[in-house]
Amino acid sequence: MYVLELAGDNYDFAVAEAQNAAKGVQVIAPGLALAETVSLSRTIHLGYTHRVSEVLLQTSSHLSELLSSLDMIHLDQPGTIAIRARDIRKSTNIDTQKVEREVGTVFVNKGFSVDLDTPIHEIRVLFSGDICIVGRLLETSSKGYSDRNPTKKPFFQPGSMDSIEARAIANLAGARPNSVILDPMCGTGGILIEAALMGATVYGMDAQQKMILGANQNLRHYSVKNFVTIRGDAANLPISTKIDSILFDVPYGRQSKITGYEIDVLIEHALKEAYPLTSKVVVISDFPLEKLAKQAGWVLKNHFTRRVHKSLTRHVHILRK
């Protein structure tokens, strides 16, 4: 069994993303989920899972019960340790420094020595609500999202999605090595970048030539090579080959007028165009579109709301045939 340390406030969204890299994922407390199996080569690429650990022990959040249960833990190899305790969301008001000292003492008495810089074993002691999970750290998610945020890109447009959100969307679409992802409304290329950095081959389209030129500039800036971009119409896709997944972030507000379509007509036509090419579509819009999806033949599997600011809430839809 494995424990995932989740980020953000919407744990259902984080779990849905994590299912691209793990199976049997269930939230057990705020900020914590258990998984039956994980692919560490993919969990490192999750946006809203910070760390993955092997579960060594689960107890209540009472320190006395935790300390009395530590004898049940048997690590499979000797070496140095570091104890890291977290009170997630400060939900227990436990003294994490005291926890680290007392748990560390137990492990030292077992014959382990402490190395806070480069330990063989990092032991995570995670408190949330009335639960405590002790785990051995296996993987920490990749960093660098802030370096890829919209204002850090050479081509920037207001309203662009943060890189960590774009990474989660790419994961929801199933981006991974050797997968093929199409974004027919690619804008500045943010989601394409995140999918490509996970090994996917990405195809981008946009109705505006300046967006295609800007997306190319951004993709090259992050050394992405496995991409193709063209100017095109999402409601009339010039593609006939099968695609693993199609995703698109529908233009919001005034930007939606650029395409020449009413926005609901654009979405319905785009979804109909996508239908013969793939079995999975992820659509981001500023309104719910289950009815439009159904009219185009798709079934809504998941719907998440993502508040950006007081005047924009993104709706993330996962559609299947």
Residue spans of the domains in the chain: they are 2-140, 146-320
Integer CA distances (angstroms), 8 to 24, 100, 150, 166, in order: 20, 25, 19, 14
Residue of 307, 303, 273 lying closest to 288 (CA atoms) = 303
Q: In the predicted model, is pLDDT for residue 262 greater than 90?
A: no
Distance of alpha carbon 314 from alpha carbon 50, whole angstroms: 23
pLDDT at 76: 84
Q: What is the pLDDT of residues 1-28, one digit of tens each?
A: 999 999 988 999 999 999 999 999 999 9
Which residue type occupies 184? Answer: P
pLDDT in tens, 204-241: 999 999 999 999 999 999 999 999 999 999 999 999 89
Amino acid 9: pLDDT: 86
pLDDT of residue 143: 84
Q: How far is CA 290 from CA 266, 267, 294, in A?
A: 15, 11, 6
Residue by residue, DSSP assigns 8-25 as: SS-HHHHHHHHTTTEES-
Kindly report the CATH class assigned to 2-140.
alpha beta
Going by their DSSP bridges, the two strands 180-183 and 245-249 should be labelled as parallel
Greater model confidence, 253 or 187: 187
Residue with tokens 């993104």: 314
Tokens read off for 56? 């060594």
- Per-position b or e across 46-75, b if 16+ CB within 10 A of its CB: bbbbebbbbbbbbbebebeebeeebeeeeb
Instruction: Strand 49-60: give its sheet, edge to edge.
Output: 26-29, 32-35, 2-6, 49-60, 131-140, 121-128, 80-87, 113-114
Q: What is the pLDDT of residue 8?
A: 87
State residue 159's pLDDT score: 86
Using alpha carbons only, how large is the chain's radius of gyration in Å? 22
Span 240-258, pLDDT tens digits = 899 999 999 998 764 555 5
90-143 pLDDT, tens digit per residue, is 989 999 999 999 999 999 999 999 999 999 999 999 999 999 999 999 999 988
Supply the mean pLDDT for the chain.
95
Residue 286 has pLDDT above 70, yes or no: yes
Rounded to 5°, the CA angle 72-44-125 comes to: 30
Give the per-residue pLDDT at 246.
98
CATH number (3.40.50.150, 1.10.1200.10, 3.20.10.10, 3.40.50.450) of 146-320 reads: 3.40.50.150
Confidence (pLDDT) at 257: 55
